[in-house]
Amino acid sequence: MPNIEKLALQNCGGINKFEIMSASKLERLSIHNCVHDVVESRWLAPHLKAIKSLWLCRSSLLYMDASLFATAINLQLLVLCNFSFGCGKQLTVTLQLLQKCPNLCELGILANQPVYKRDQEAASRLLEDPDGCFIEQDLKMLKTIKIESFSGFIVEMFFVRMLLSKSPALERVVIMEYVGIDTSAVECLRELLRFHRASPKAQICMELDDPICGGLSDYIWFD
């Protein structure tokens, strides 16, 4: 185990105790539907210094307190799956994690949870609160952001606006809609253009996914 470089944990919900030898060379870790606070908080924390790529899912975020984690000095890629923008806990942990990743280069989010009106309002207040978990320092190394299944909800707009304002090295923002594009979605992206961008090089790209055509059928670029 000390020499392990890649580790994927999935569907370990029946485990009450999780023990593993120190993995000092671990660089790539994926956690999906696992043993909740046992893995995510107690075991993940001491390994964050070495990890370069981290995949987490909705259930992982629900059982974390990332404010207690040490700085993930080597983390370059963070991917969040089945993410719900309407869940305050997931948003809080995500913002805490971003604060712990000064060298993060790429952020990927696959949104796969519905956002209800009451949740959207609460989450939006969370992102607007300057005394809450809003990111304080800049994400100086973040160059790429990709969000799949973007629906244009207010809370999603707040989240992207926050990232745009805190990422001075940002080069590419990819917004992808699975079910196709319509005028309102285009207008949503145009609204993003009016947000302050800390990076003069930041571009926003909308990828159009047309299931009838069997894949990505078009691109719309905004400078």
Cα–Cα distance measured from residue 82 to residue 112, given in angstroms and rounded to the nearest whole number: 5
Is residue 178 assigned to a domain?
yes
DSSP element (H, E) containing 54: strand 53-57
Is residue 152 assigned to a domain?
yes
Is residue 200 assigned to a domain?
yes
Cα–Cα distance measured from residue 160 to residue 149, given in angstroms and rounded to the nearest whole number: 14
- Looking up residue 101, the CATH number of its domain turns out to be 3.80.10
50-85 per-position pLDDT tens digit: 899 999 888 788 878 787 788 899 999 999 998 988
Beta bridge partners of 109: 80, 147
109-147 per-position pLDDT tens digit: 998 766 665 556 665 666 666 554 567 789 999 999 999
Count of beta carbons in the 10 Å neighbourhood of residue 58: 19
74 phi, psi to nearest 5 deg: -100, -5
Is residue 101 assigned to a domain?
yes
140-188 per-position pLDDT tens digit: 999 999 998 887 777 888 889 889 999 999 999 998 875 644 545 567 7
Cα–Cα distance measured from residue 170 to residue 157, given in angstroms and rounded to the nearest whole number: 17
pLDDT at 52: 94
Is residue 1 assigned to a domain?
no
Name the domain count of the chain. 1
Comparing 44-58, 93-107, 112-126, 184-198, the range with the smallest average pLDDT is: 112-126
| Domain span at 129 | 6-222
